Structure 1
């Protein structure tokens, strides 16, 4: 199995875990408790205003699933890293330096892409999640001004990005330049925070 297909399999598994976690968290919500709420009354008896058995069962399963999810996320990061470092994927000529990022979690999301823009020509689409953009990644990104500077510095050069789209990892290349629209890239970026993180 290729790293990309393994990454898709891991993403599918994590999505299934997320759905199961949502159902279990709803059990707690329905009982108006959280992971730390007391399940006994002041006299030490099980509370009679909640389904104690269901809450205990949900809590145990939530802890197990959260651990499973963390392990899946780590495996997923390893596979994305493997895809990113694949010599075949990096064989194209590039002005960009090799970046050894320390995380593979997405940190930006694409809000929109203008038709005919350098971003559009490079294959970027709305809702793509950015894992790496030039030399920027989740651990060195501090704000959108870095993205703007990266695009300006890349005019006339090749800018590479690693993205997640519908559970697939893609490596894209762009040529930032003046075009008929605004700026040199033609895409809107918004900060991304992983759900249930």
Structure 2
């Protein structure tokens, strides 16, 4: 979205920069999880006898998980502030009869586009509600189960992929391969409730990097 030249523009740009920094920090802490046997956000840190696992840095993993949860909350709050800021920007532009009009940027985002690669002067504010994928199976102890994905979940956004730019399942596969061992934000619907989770694709004892089967709605 092009932001008009108003007194609120600088504030909005600072918020966008803050958003991008938060996303980079989430990725950094995700690397700590990846470096410790690819543990996810929910995998047990205790061994079979109930003691802290000796094969990973339990303290570092716990700290990274805590930071990721806090950062995800900060990201959600920052996105809300950005939306409010854009409303103020546009309202002031109309009041001052600004010559610059606002419009949504018709920017096509490829499946492997990362937040750092997005132009800093643009931000996607469209709220997508149409499911693009449905989960038909989740394997036990898989990355998908670890992050909280369940059978029959409807995925509305898979990272940068949403109803506006989704074309085929190959896009999801390419994104997952590109973001291996890195967090991907998923927005989903489950029994009428909206959910947002963080999925970290990684190698595990089963096939693939997710451990779940997803299909395009109405193609099951």
- Given the two structures, how large is their TM-score scaled by the length of structure 2? 0.45
Bigger Rg over Cα: 1
